[in-house]
Structure formats: structure tokens, C-alpha cells
Amino acid sequence: MAQNFDLVVIGAGPGGYVAAIRAAQLGMRVAVVEKNKLGGVCLNVGCIPTKALLKSAEIAYTVRHAQEYGLRVEGPVQVDFQAVIARSRQVAERMSRGVQFLMKKNKIEVFSAAARLDGKGRVALLRDGKPFEELRAPHIVLATGARPRELPFMRIDHRKIWDSTDALSASQRPDSMLIVGAGAIGVEFAYFYHMMGTRVTLVEIMPTILPAEDEDIGRELGKSYQKYGIEILTESSVTAVDTSGPKVKATLRTPQGERTLEVDVVLSAVGVTGNIENLGLEELGVRVDKGAVVVDEWYRTNVEGIYAIGDVAGPPWLAHVASHEGILCVEKIAGLEVEPLDYDNIPGCTYCQPQVASVGLTEKAARERGYDIRVGKFPFQASGKAAAIGHTEGFVKVIFDARYGEWLGCHILGWDATELISEAVLARKAEGTIHEVMRAVHPHPTLAEAIMEAAAAAAGEAIHL
């Protein structure tokens, strides 16, 4: 017999499990279907374990520079690569157990299976591709996430051509690596593997690394990476790979001409595509476009009772976006008064060191939208706290509307930048202006003072510049 619920969520990543918990809080009887581990890509093979790896890389860098802090460490840093990977996996497992606890706490029924839409209000549970049970609900939320996108001439074989999951679970450290794509994933793994001792080449087709960020950010981070010893090839692309030999032979097109590079592995970091296959979308007539389920501002598809949140619904492919979409989706289903998500106020973070964090418009985008702007920049070289901790790389850049003082954008490159960006997110949400940022007393000495100082620079009232 079919089991009946108020809501069925397919996928238990940061969109799906958060939506399920909020629905349970609102009194719904909820089921979650997940064919892999609770927590999805983010918790198990994405956000959380990669941050654990990056912490190991950061510590390796700090120990190598211990003498700068008056400390002496005898001999070179010895990297136990397998132990680094093992710690990352332990962190992910602990967090996954936490999601299991939350499911029980909120009385959410979890089904470990694949799922397929099997008609209006029906979800078939599959084992080995065959249905064995049916769930019924008037509301079904698709939260199936996304997977790494592949280039047609560079198929991921998990041996010599890696995806991000291979990179964070490798049993051995490669001596050399080519990373294709310098978005957040490519840049983070470039930092990690370089600090572990791998010779890294980072290739990006755009003029700067992290091309979605403000151009100043990409240029300055590129300089930091080159100082580390990471080779960066911008305005370049990989045109062919040959995996037949003991190493991968990659052919690159660069501004200086064609180049051949031999490496142990190639990491493909060229984006993601939604997991829309084998869900029964075609049979129900659910509309998809460019690898994503099409939804409205409340995450409703064109088929009544079917919703989609998170990566499967398209960009921005961020865990915190998926979680907020899940909450808004089920609150709207429950009849609460909610407002649509403001996609212009979504923070983005990259967790290399120096870190990158941003929200709102870049300087270029603000000008293209026709704003008369005030731009302020405060370098961490002028920050007492940055000097004290020995990390003066980077800056805070703020962009305000010159007429009304509206905070249009904030872009940070620096140590622990990802912990600073929330101030800008909250101030923009509260419609804070340049004067309110300047007059808000920031504690001294802190890295966060740089935000206040940058705002003062935009107003022509900088004190410490």
C-alpha cells in the first residue's frame, strides 16, 4: 500500500533536508527520499569536507612561516596526505550524523532509495531501477542537486581526469596537476594541492581567475597565487587531452600560442549541471531548460504540486541559497506571508587564503546599470589587526550609489574574508546607507574595521589612508 504524506522531498542536501525540517515545524507530515547520504553533495563531498582540507592547507602554510612569528619549527613540514583526507572525511561523517539526528528529532520519515515521479501526487521508490514502494503527497519538492559538468573531449574517468569528489578523496597526492576552470572550486583546490606539495597549473578562459567576482579581486588573487608558485594561465583553454600514456598530455591554447603540458592528473572544474534525469519529469511534462527545472519565484514548476529548489533549479549553485529556497518554498505551501528571495543580495565565498567574499554588484555591473557610484577601497596593509596576524594581503572594496547612499556591492579579498561579508549582507537587507556604515562603531583592532574604513574612503572621509 502507498504511504501518505503532506510533503515528499526528493533529495536530502542543504535544500532538501532544510525544507523538510521547516515543513515539519509547520505541522506537515514529511518524507525525505535520498539515494545516497543525508546532507547531499555539500555536506558529504562538497562544502564541508573541502573546508576541512583547506584548513589543513592553511596550517601547513602557517607552520612553514612560523619563524615570521618568532617561533622555530625544526625541519620541513611533513604532509601525511592520507591523514589529511581522513580528517576531512571524519568531519563530513560527523555532520551527516547530525542531519540524521535532525530527521529523527523532527519526526521526518527517511527513505533510502532512488525516486521517480509516477503521476500526480505520487512518488515511486526504486531499488535497482525497479519500483518497490509508493509515496503519495499533494506537494512534492525536487531537491536533487547537481553534478560536475563534463567537457566533451575531456570525460571524467576518475583516474587521470578527476572531478571535485575525486580531488577531495584521493588516496595519494599527485606530483603535478592541471586544473581546468578557475571558479571557486578550481581556485580552492589549486590552493589546497599547492600547499600539500603538488605542482599546480590553473587554466581559465577569462581574463582573470574567479571571473564572476569584481575584476580587482581576480587580479589581486592571481598575484597572490603566483607568489605562492601556482602557475596561472588566463585567457587560455584546454583543447585536447591524451590519457593513453603514464601521464596526461594536455594541449593548451594560450595568448602566447599552443602549449603541451604533461601532468599526473587533470581536475575538471568547469561548472555543474542539474540532476534532472530519471525523475519522470518528461512523463509529467515538467518544463526544463539548460539542464535545470524551470520554476517561478515560489519554486513552483509548471505542473501543479511539483516544486524544485537548489541546484536542480539552476544558478546560483550555492548551499545557502538552496536552504533559503527550501524554507520559502514550504512556507508558501503552508500559506504563510513570505517575500521572494532577493537574488541580488546573495553572498558568494571562496575559501582559499587569502579568502574571497562578495555580495551585490561589481563596479562594472553597477556602472552598466547606470548608477552614479562612489567606490571606496581600504587595503589590509593599513589594518592594524591584519599586520598583527601577519596577513596584510588584499582589501575591502565597497560600492555605493552616489545619490542616495545605497550600498550596491561589497568585495573582500583577505584573511577570513568569508567571516566578514555578513555585515554587508545584513546592512544591504536593512537598506543601510554609506553614512550608517561609517557611523557604526566597529571594534578595534579587527579586520572588520576595514569595511567601515572603505565606506569612509568612498565618502572622501578616510582617516587611515
Find, among 359, 387, 362, 356, the residue nearest to 449 by Cα. Answer: 387
Q: Report the DSSP beta bridge partners of residue 272.
A: 148
Burial of 29 (0-12, 13-18, 19+ CB in 10 A): middle
CA dist., res. 88 & res. 50, Å (int): 7
391 is catalytic: no
| Eight-state DSSP code of residue 433 | B
E strand residue ranges, 118-271: 122-127, 130-136, 139-142, 146-148, 161-162, 176-180, 199-203, 231-233, 237-242, 248-254, 257-263, 265-268
Q: Which amino acid is at 427?
A: A
Continuous segment of H or E residues that includes residue 318: none
Annotated active-site residue in 65, 435, 444, 464 = 444
Q: Which residue has the cell 531537491?
A: 143
Q: Contact at 8 Å (CB) between 374 and 454?
A: no
CA dist., res. 455 & res. 461, Å (int): 9
CA dist., res. 225 & res. 209, Å (int): 10
Q: Contact at 8 Å (CB) between 334 and 340?
A: no
Judged by phi (left if over 0) then psi (alpha if -120 to 50, else beta), residue 268 lies in beta
Q: Which amino acid is at 29?
A: R
| Eight-state DSSP code of residue 79 | P
Q: Would you state the cell numbers that stand for residue 235, as one nine-digit string?
A: 585567457
CA dist., res. 263 & res. 251, Å (int): 11
CA dist., res. 312 & res. 202, Å (int): 28
Q: Report the DSSP beta bridge partners of residue 18.
A: none
Q: Which residue has the cell 551585490?
A: 360
Residues in the chain, total: 465
CA dist., res. 402 & res. 117, Å (int): 51
Continuous segment of H or E residues that includes residue 78: none
In 229-361, which residue ranges form alpha helices assigned H by DSSP?
281-284, 319-333
Please report, for residues 63, 172, 423, the alpha-carbon distance to residue 78 in angstroms, rounded to integers and kept in the order given. Answer: 10, 14, 38
Phi, psi of 364 (to 5 degrees): -65, -45
Q: Which amino acid is at 104?
A: K
Active site residues: 444
